[in-house]
Structure 1
Amino acid sequence: MYKFKKERCLIALSAALAVAGCKLPSVATNTPNTAVPEIYSNSKDSTNTATIPWRSFFKDQNLINLIDTAIKNNQELKITMQEIEIAKNEIRIKKGELLPSVGLRAGTGVEKVGRYTSQGAGDAGTEIAPGKAVPDPLMDYNLSAYAHWEVDIWKKLRNSKKAALSRYLSSVEGKNFALTNLIAEVADSYYELLALDNQLEIVKQNIELQKNALAIVKVQKEAARATELAVQKFQAEVLTSKSLEFELLQKTKETENRINFLLGQYPQEIKRDRGNFLDLLPAMVQVGVPSQLLANRPDIKQAELELSAAKLDVNVARAAFYPSLDISAAIGLQAFKPSYFLKFPESVLYALAGDIAGPLINRNAIKAEFSTANARQLQAMYNYERSILNAYLEVSNQLSKIGNLDKSYELKSQQVDALNKSIVVSNDLFKSARVNYFEVLMTQRDALESKLELIETKKEQLNAVVHFYRDLGGGWK
């Protein structure tokens, strides 16, 4: 019997060594390209706006209060926080797999074998004590502690734990990325709300101006200096402006509710300063150097950590080709009668075993798992490269947009000033019948459109700076 067990162990060991000696699939060793241009345009200043905390970046206290509420109540951010908890628990699971599993087992049973069997014939008449034969049927009572441990020879379990740790850190960066996007979204909606307030005020002023013009043309009609056509045209213009007023009121309501949604609250009025929106000045920004994106952008760091986890997954999948060593042990008490439980050493049971096992034939499933892990590693690498490229292009776009919007705003301001003057001139000329009603209507319409466009440009200026701050990686620190 001993010789048979020895031969079986040798066969298992030889098979395991044969598996270890087989040629294994190769691991993709591509290195991600993290090179970025040295500078943006002609800027060589390393000072970076992304390092400024968001409370210092925004100056409007109402906006700061809204962002504070959003950070506390936003459901999307809360969902992301739970993903961090899930990733943290995954680390605990992988850490537990490194340690031996220990348990306690208690049980009872009964066994009745046939008399005309080797065991039944052997037990018949066998005395366990003077005058006491083996009971028939035979009861079995046992109480034991057992342990099992997979020895981590090839670092499969340790690499699995490291991969879980990388994914936990990645989920933290994912939360940071969600946070900086949330801050930017609240700021975007807030500035849009201010813009709508001011556009609504301009439309109301324009309605009063159009009503005055309508009154003048009615008087002129009575004096036979204007026609009914002019009256109806002015009346239609007033109605068009009133319709626009209600459109702006609806947009204001929708924007307020979008902010309420981000803040995790039911509809309520958003506190804000309805002063002159055009007096707001965008914050001064400094772009720094492109290489700072790798440290400041949470999505880039998240992609980098996902790549680290994917590489470790490849090592885990590769280790599946190697033999594994399992050790199991047990110790306890066993007897066929409860009164014999405490008879030492007769009732003591113990066991200790070690197994080496490895795949030998039909390893297609393991190869497929390895190939999948390899492909996911390449996916993670390409995603990392894409994140870097995308970040650089986003900053480049916003940098260009800020400059172009500044020039556009200056020109639109001059356009509004010119059209405001033309309204006064056209009204004076109309009163003296030196221009017709059509020129007055067109002048008022052009002035209204230019004022609304000026406010829209101001909003885009403010939002471009917010997006620039976000794209540099600011807001989450």
Structure 2
Amino acid sequence: MKRSTLYIFGILLLTAAGGCSVQKKCPAPELNLPAQIVAGRTDSLTIGDLAWWEVYTDTTLCRLIGRTLDRNRNMQSAEARIRQLEELYRVSKAARLPSLGGLVLADNETNDYYGEAHKSDAEFSVKATLSWEADLWGSLRWAKRKGAAEYLASVEAARALQMTLIAEVATAYFELTALDHELDVVRRTVETRQESMRQARLRFEGGLTSETAYQQAKVELASASALIPDLELKIAQKENQISVLAGGYPARVTRSKMNMNVTMPDSLAVGLPSTLLQRRPDVRQSEQNLKAAMAAAGMAYADRFPRLTISLTGGLENDALKGLIESPFSYAVGNLTAPLFAFGSKRAKYRAALAGYEQARLAYEQKVLEVFREVNDAVVAYRNMRRTAELKFNLKEAARQYVVLAKLQYINGVIRYIDVLDAQRKFFDAQVEESKAVRNEHLALVGLYKALGGGWDTPEREKKG
């Protein structure tokens, strides 16, 4: 009894030593996180904590996002991947438990050996086998950890995909509404220039002006009209992109008009470094990949040592059905399987697994660095897009006033008609630039929200509209 206790204690000690050996060979990532996500910002809250339907208040956009999350094929594939790895994780957990198998056998063997009489050997049996592998070196335990990490990584991958899909839909939607607004500006400009050309023709035909002003008016009209087909093409392509994202065939997309009077805050909360890593599902996915790589190294380490399998078989066996019920049997077997000479392949697999862990560790560290870069870029982009939108609005208003004054001066004979056309051209360009600036302001918000890990929360069904 004492010897058995010492033997069991020795096995447990060796198993623990094996786990410690793997962990020593797999150092933790070196992050050295900064004190602040953005220099000079110590926000305790983050916009990433807001649900996407609270950030994007356009009800049409919210319905579009909800439909995308329900129907997008990549999202459905990611959810199927989660279900697959969940079942595989159950397989890895079940491997640590005993397995029970059964066998019902009926055979008849005939022998006609040289020099001997013909023999017929029948056998009938009903057997049950209970087997269990002793996890001496932690191979099954590591396999379970690997399965759990891969399953959790798939969950985080689906969340990261949802975060990306929401950003893609919002980006495409704001680009589409901006194209709509730009097309409206162009069409209004075309109408204005048609009237200007008509008046220029009348003045030219009446001898009030030279043909140069008339031809210049025709040039301005043609240049504005030429923009319409390209804008209509871009609008159709953007609608097709959104339709496919939402899991449908190309079709017209219902949308609202761009709000040119929207006022966004000058700055948004970005949170703390620790909250950033918790919010970003792609970072957590990379962390789970790291854990899976460590578990793979543990499995490769344990594979170098013997495996002990214990099985117990019992049942009924006889050479005739008549006496089968009265012929019980049983036997127990312990199999110790050990690699004797594998030409260093086991050690090589272990070293390869350690190298795989090193790759996963460096990938995780790189992911963290990239996340902080993305947030810093997004903060700068949002701040500058806010300033640009304000300046473009001022430019448009100044250009509008310039057109009014130019027309008055032309009527009073102070300037030439070509100067009026130049003022109108500047006003047209200012309107287009303002539309793009407002679009970029929305896109900057989308980029910042995504960079901070916002968008993977699951809304309630009624929230989707």
**Please, what TM-score do these two structures have when normalized by structure 2?**
0.88
Are the aligned partners of 2:241 and 2:250 in contact in 1 as well (CA < 8 Å)? no
- Name the CA distance, whole Å, in 2 between partners of 1:431 and 1:312: 83
Cα offset, 1:454, TM superposition: 1.1
Aligned to 1:371: 351
Q: 1:104 aligns with which of 87, 98, 102?
A: 102
- Alignment of 1:356 with 2:307, yes or no, is no
Q: Deviations over 1:11-31 (max 9, x none)?
A: xxxxxx9xx99xx99963332
User: Quick one: percent identity of the two aligned structures?
Assistant: 28
Spell out the pairing of 1:22-171 with structure 2 (5 A cutoff). Answer: 28-39=25-36, 40-114=38-112, 136-171=119-154
- Name the CA distance, whole Å, in 2 between partners of 1:44 and 1:336: 84
Q: 1:394 aligns with which of 368, 374, 378?
A: 374
**Which amino acid counterpart does residue 68 of structure 1 have in structure 2?**
G
- Alignment of 1:278 with 2:275, yes or no, is no
**Which amino acid counterpart does residue 314 of structure 2 have in structure 1?**
I
Aligned to 1:196: 179
Are the aligned partners of 2:22 and 2:297 in contact in 1 as well (CA < 8 Å)? no
Are the aligned partners of 2:22 and 2:298 in contact in 1 as well (CA < 8 Å)? no
**Which amino acid counterpart does residue 444 of structure 2 have in structure 1?**
A
Aligned to 1:454: 434
Q: Deviations over 1:119-154 (max 9, x none)?
A: x6xxx7xxxxxxxxxx92222222211233221111
Aligned to 2:4: none
Cα offset, 1:220, TM superposition: 1.8
Report the secondary structure of 2:137's partner residue: coil
Are the aligned partners of 1:194 and 1:277 in contact in 2 as well (CA < 8 Å)? no
Cα offset, 1:439, TM superposition: 3.1
- Name the CA distance, whole Å, in 1 between partners of 2:236 and 2:23: 60
Cα offset, 1:77, TM superposition: 0.9
- Name the CA distance, whole Å, in 2 between partners of 1:86 and 1:229: 73
Q: 1:236 aligns with which of 219, 235, 242?
A: 219
Cα offset, 1:316, TM superposition: 0.9
Q: Deviations over 1:195-234 (max 9, x none)?
A: 1121111111111221122112111211223333432332
- Name the CA distance, whole Å, in 2 between partners of 1:158 and 1:49: 40
**Which amino acid counterpart does residue 110 of structure 2 have in structure 1?**
K
- Name the CA distance, whole Å, in 1 between partners of 2:39 and 2:350: 44
Q: Deviations over 1:294-341 (max 9, x none)?
A: 111111111111111111111111001111101223212222222121
- Name the CA distance, whole Å, in 1 between partners of 2:26 and 2:359: 13
**Which amino acid counterpart does residue 318 of structure 2 have in structure 1?**
A
Q: 2:232 aligns with which of 235, 238, 249?
A: 249
Cα offset, 1:96, TM superposition: 2.1
Are the aligned partners of 2:127 and 2:316 in contact in 1 as well (CA < 8 Å)? yes
Cα offset, 1:178, TM superposition: 1.0
Cα offset, 1:156, TM superposition: 0.7
Are the aligned partners of 1:282 and 1:465 in contact in 2 as well (CA < 8 Å)? no
Range that drifts further, 412-421 or 382-391: 412-421
- Alignment of 1:445 with 2:425, yes or no, is yes
Aligned to 1:410: 390
Larger radius of gyration: 1
Cα offset, 1:91, TM superposition: 0.6
- Name the CA distance, whole Å, in 2 between partners of 1:413 and 1:148: 77
- Alignment of 1:224 with 2:204, yes or no, is no
- Name the CA distance, whole Å, in 2 between partners of 1:106 and 1:436: 106
Cα offset, 1:452, TM superposition: 0.7
Are the aligned partners of 1:282 and 1:462 in contact in 2 as well (CA < 8 Å)? no
**Change over 3 Å in CA distance of 1:264–1:99 after alignment to 2:** same
Are the aligned partners of 1:285 and 1:465 in contact in 2 as well (CA < 8 Å)? no
Report the secondary structure of 2:95's partner residue: helix
- Name the CA distance, whole Å, in 2 between partners of 1:113 and 1:409: 96
- Alignment of 1:330 with 2:327, yes or no, is no
Q: Deviations over 1:420-474 (max 9, x none)?
A: 2222233344445543444333332222222111111111111111111111111
Q: 1:207 aligns with which of 190, 210, 219?
A: 190
Q: Deviations over 1:67-118 (max 9, x none)?
A: 121121121111110110111011111122112222221223233335568x
Aligned to 1:469: 449
**Which amino acid counterpart does residue 34 of structure 1 have in structure 2?**
L
